[in-house]
């Protein structure tokens, strides 16, 4: 679980930097859904996992990972109210301020669910689950086969297995899961 907390903290630190990085383009290249179809520039997923593992391993106790996360969250919450709507550069994409923040609402909702598997963590707020579901369905270009947003997010993000009836309803789209 420390790995998830460290991953979120490092990502939020990157988000903070991204909120300061205006892009010279006047129009975005990605929106809150298409952002997830890109791969961040740099060393790739393995390097990112190794970096998170190293930082997590340097944490003496699991609770030690929470202090730095709290600090970055406080800084972002304080600055979020002063954001203007513009095009920002983030991980090789150009996104509006709102779309960039929406990608992080999705990221945080999914990782809150990850933490809730092993810890007593409440599920994300219903608005975050609804946004995450809309993002997943935009990526899938189809509706997920459940009426419950929490269940749809768990299914679409690969946090639970697919039932046979869901596999049948999704047809060939099932091969695209998980979406995140």
- Block residue for tokens 């890109």: 38
pTM score, two decimals?
Answer: 0.91
The mean pLDDT value of the chain amounts to 92
Q: What is the largest CA-CA distance in the chain?
A: 48
Domain count, the chain: 1
Residue listed under structure tokens 């304080």: 78
How does pLDDT run across 29-45, given as a tens digit for each residue?
A: 999 999 999 877 665 67
Q: What pLDDT, in 10s, does the model give residues 34-74?
A: 999 987 766 567 777 888 889 888 887 778 888 999 999 99
Identify the CA nearest to 56 among candidates 129, 5, 112. Answer: 5
In this prediction, residue 44 carries a pLDDT of: 65
CA atoms within 13 A on the CB side of 19: 21
- Note down the domain range covering 165: 2-176
- pLDDT tops 70 at residue 114: yes
């Amino acid at each position: 679980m420390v790995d998830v907390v460290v991953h979120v903290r490092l990502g939020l630190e990157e988000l903070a930097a991204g909120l300061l990085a205006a892009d010279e383009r006047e129009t975005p290249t990605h929106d809150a859904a298409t952002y997830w179809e890109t791969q961040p520039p740099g060393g790739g997923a393995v390097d990112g996992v190794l970096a998170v593992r190293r930082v997590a391993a340097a944490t003496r106790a699991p609770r030690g990972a929470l202090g730095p996360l709290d600090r970055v969250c406080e800084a972002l919450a304080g600055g979020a109210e002063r954001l203007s709507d513009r095009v920002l550069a983030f991980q090789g994409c150009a996104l509006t301020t709102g779309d960039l923040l929406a990608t992080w609402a999705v990221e945080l909702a999914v990782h809150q669910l990850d933490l809730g598997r092993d810890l007593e963590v409440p599920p994300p707020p219903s608005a975050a689950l609804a946004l995450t579901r809309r993002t997943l369905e935009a990526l899938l270009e189809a509706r997920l086969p459940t009426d419950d947003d929490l269940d749809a997010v768990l299914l679409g993000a690969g946090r639970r297995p697919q039932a046979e009836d869901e596999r049948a309803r999704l047809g060939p789209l099932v091969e695209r899961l998980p979406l995140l």
